[in-house]
Structure 1
Amino acid sequence: MFRIYQVFFLWLLGVLCAMGLFLGVFVYFKDIKESEQIAHEKLHTLFEVVDISLLEGSFDTRFLKDLQRRSGVGVVIFDKDNQQIHYSQKNLTEISLNFQDKPQFTPLKLNDQAYLSLTQSTIIDGRNYDIGVFLPYTHKINQGFWIDFLVLFGVFLSLGVCLVLVLKRHIQNELGKIAMYLQKLGKKDFKKSLRPPLVFKEFAEISERIGKLGLWLQKQEKISKKRSKKLHLKYLQSTSIIAALSHEFKNPLAVISGYCEMILNPKAKELDSKNLERFLSKIYAQSQRLNQLLERLNLAVRLDNDLLQLETSSFDLSVLTEEITISLQARYPEKKITLTLKNTPIQADRVLIENVIINLVENALKYSKSKVAISVKKGRFEVCDDGCGIAEGQVGLVTKKFYRLQENYSQNSLGLGLFIVKYILKLHHSELEIKSTLGKGSCFSFKLPSV
């Protein structure tokens, strides 16, 4: 395959050769045309000389031969009235000529000699004559012209070669820059940009497009890195949730399996009804725990995929809060709960808002040291604890799916509680507000419009 400068060189050489050939042919035919014109003028001049000689009566055969010797032009005169022929060269009379009243220039050939003839019928002093003038005609190529042409062609060819070499250097330089930049793009090195060339507009356009390609690739690389980070994060989250599910399901299943083995043991017949009831209660409690974990996971999936629809109704937020608090107090008897409730009728999905309050109150009871304060007034719900609090950099992360502040806390914890709360409140056009001081405690609140 040819390189660009080689193609350009061949093209330039071809153009120069074509121009030289065209110029040579053009000048050749022009030279022939000029030679014919000079011959016509010479013949016409000699015709006038013969015409004047006839008029003066001073011509004879000797005069015509002397004229041919001096000018190289042959002459034939037909005296039509006296039926006489006068000539400077006898064989010229053998040529078949066509005489007319107007001058006729005719190329002829006699004994391998080319002639250009001028023939005309004329009347001189009342007598009719047919006059023929013959000029030996051979077009000679102007050797001086061809020498000048070849020298000039050599100069132009040398200049063309120099131009090609200069262009070759520039082209190789620009192509080298483009190739180097493309290699860097291949290695994902986007630090340096491609400077546009100053000589060739085409290379400037190519450089501009490659520069845009580099910017696009750089943007795609950033997007790819972000996607890779997201995929890695999702992988870590999926690994974490699988581990969490395994851990959360393992304990209840172990308890259920252990009590079932005890009941099914042949010696279980010796168990009294009181112990049997206690074992069954433990199995039921653990099965409920598993059910809650699965329901919470299912709810998170439905919220994340926008598969949940609100079923709104009117109810009092303070009454619902009180019912939930009484239920949870029994599970955490060691924690003190302070309630500040005012009637707050709202229009919302009772089941989902109940899930929100259960999550927030139960989290407060889990992480508090001793007491929890709950207040409901003017459509605003707030729960505060005196726990260890949340670091400022983690406040925005606690509502992420599968995020857990304390990895060692395993009781009903999949890192989905606040994620579910956030989505349910979003469906109700509200948002979760978090205020926390590390070492002092946290407050979680939201507001719903009162009816």
Structure 2
Amino acid sequence: MLTNSRGIALILAIAIAALTTAFLSLMGESTITYMLVAGALIFSIAYLLINITLEFLIFREIGNIYTLLEKIQKKDLSDIQDKSFRSSLSPLRKINSVINSYAIARQKEIETLTKNAEFRREFIADISHELKTPIFATQGYIHTLLDGAIEDKHVRMKFLKRAAKSLDSLDVLVQDLLTLNQMESGVIKFSFSDFDLRELIDEVIEELEHKASKREVKIKWEYDPERKYITHADRPKIYRVCQNLIFNAIKYNHHGGEVQIGLKPGKNTLQVEIKDDGQGIPPEDLKRIFERFYRVEKSRNKKEGGTGLGLAIVKHILEGHKSKISVSSTVGKGSIFSFSLPMVKLAEQEDLTKSATSKQ
């Protein structure tokens, strides 16, 4: 009976009514009817007030706290909602709010740890797969030579060159991993300077022309030759961004395709756009192409080469420049990658713009 609010309220109400009736009986003018009515009224009021107070301010909140603690003990935090109480008459409700906030924080922590654990599993699987290929290939060539093929000069040179190529691929992978890790941890510092972005892209195109010609891919380079495209950024890192994006546009284009590179000035920025007419990227893969080792078509990408870290590095470089990489793609029609950098305005460019405006 004493385990719920009604039982406690009944006992306390009877006690209050009895004390009140006894006090009234001491007064000579009080009649029995008056004392009974007063006692019944006091009992009813006391019972209602005590029951409501115990039920809503104590027992219900204790029940909520117990349920919440039971969920925390069972680690079942999926349906816990964020409930904040600005003010309340019950201190237990405030305690409930604090415990609820703690439970939500624990839930977020568990979700983060789960995602990190999943990421670590995927990363270990990916890095094991990436390392396995060049290591096994090099082992195969060297063991073949040790088994007697080293006596044949032609076979020896061919296998040594293949082993060296596999080790070069392994070195590129390790260097990309180190670079990405240093960027994420903030070890690599950016060195900003003013330079002409058009000249940088010219250098990248000149470097990749041979690869484009092997696939008979035409590079279309669009810009205004009358103006300068001065930006303030880390030149070697932006070179790597352009190199990676243009190289991908060539590598994943179809044979005899076209890569369009555009450089356009905005109000305060320079916009770089790289478009190809290759196979395109499915919508479900667009959000993940900047993850480590993620490949849209794993078999095809493996055949084409690469570490699977290029776009992840591009993303981190541009984030270090307070910019971001944007991508849009249509399957069967190609992809467009774009990013922007701050534009450094020159006096001669402003005069050129004013002159063009007056002619219009």
* Residue correspondences, number: 313
* Cross-structure match for 1:388: 279
Q: How many Å apart are 1:442 and its aligned residue? A: 0.7
For the Cα contact (< 8 Å) 1:241–1:414, is it kept in 2? no
After superposition, the CA RMSD in angstroms is: 4.2
Aligned mates of 1:211, 1:353 — CA distance in 2 = 53
Residue type at the aligned position of 2:311: L
TM-score of the pair, normalised by structure 1: 0.56
Aligned mates of 1:414, 1:231 — CA distance in 2 = 27
Q: How many Å apart are 1:426 and its aligned residue? A: 2.8
Q: Deviations over 1:331-390 (max 9, x none)?
A: 562241414266755543232122212221232233211224143545554322222212
Residue type at the aligned position of 2:335: S
* Cross-structure match for 2:124: 242
Residue type at the aligned position of 1:284: A
For the Cα contact (< 8 Å) 2:24–2:35, is it kept in 1? no
* Cross-structure match for 1:206: 90
Change (3 A) 1:215 1:415: farther
Is 1:375 aligned to 2:261, yes or no?
yes
Aligned mates of 1:231, 1:412 — CA distance in 2 = 33
Change (3 A) 1:400 1:308: same
Residue type at the aligned position of 1:308: I
Change (3 A) 1:190 1:376: closer
* Cross-structure match for 1:399: 290
* Cross-structure match for 2:151: 270
Identify which of 162, 182, 187 aligns with 1:302: 182
For the Cα contact (< 8 Å) 1:386–1:442, is it kept in 2? yes
For the Cα contact (< 8 Å) 1:329–1:335, is it kept in 2? no
Identify which of 212, 215, 227 aligns with 1:334: 215
Aligned mates of 2:247, 2:109 — CA distance in 1 = 35
Residue type at the aligned position of 1:364: A
Is 1:423 aligned to 2:309, yes or no?
no
Q: How many Å apart are 1:252 and its aligned residue? A: 0.4
Aligned mates of 1:216, 1:313 — CA distance in 2 = 52
Structure 1 window deviating more from structure 2 (177-186 vs 241-250): it is 177-186
Percentage of matched positions with identical amino acids: 24
Q: How many Å apart are 1:11 and its aligned residue? A: 5.5
Alignment of 1:280-299 (within 5 A): 280-299=160-179
Residue type at the aligned position of 1:293: L
Q: How many Å apart are 1:416 and its aligned residue? A: 3.2
TM-score of the pair, normalised by structure 2: 0.67
Note the residue ranges of structure 2 that are not aligned, 5 or more in a row.
72-76, 265-269, 347-360
Residue type at the aligned position of 1:358: Q
Relative to its length, the structure with more strand (as a share) is 1
Q: Deviations over 1:40-81 (max 9, x none)?
A: xxxxxxxxxxxxxxxxxxxxxxxxxxxxxxxxxxxxxxxxxx
For the Cα contact (< 8 Å) 2:329–2:336, is it kept in 1? yes
Aligned mates of 1:227, 1:406 — CA distance in 2 = 34
Q: Deviations over 1:205-252 (max 9, x none)?
A: 239x739946983x7766665554444333333222211111111110
Note the residue ranges of structure 1 that are not aligned, 5 or more in a row.
25-144, 194-203
Q: SS at 1:238's partner residue? A: helix
Relative to its length, the structure with more helix (as a share) is 2
Q: SS at 2:89's partner residue? A: helix
Q: How many Å apart are 1:158 and its aligned residue? A: 5.6
Change (3 A) 1:350 1:190: closer
Residue type at the aligned position of 1:431: K
Comparing both chains, which one has the higher relative contact order based on Cα–Cα distances under 8 Å and sequence gaps of 6 or more? 2
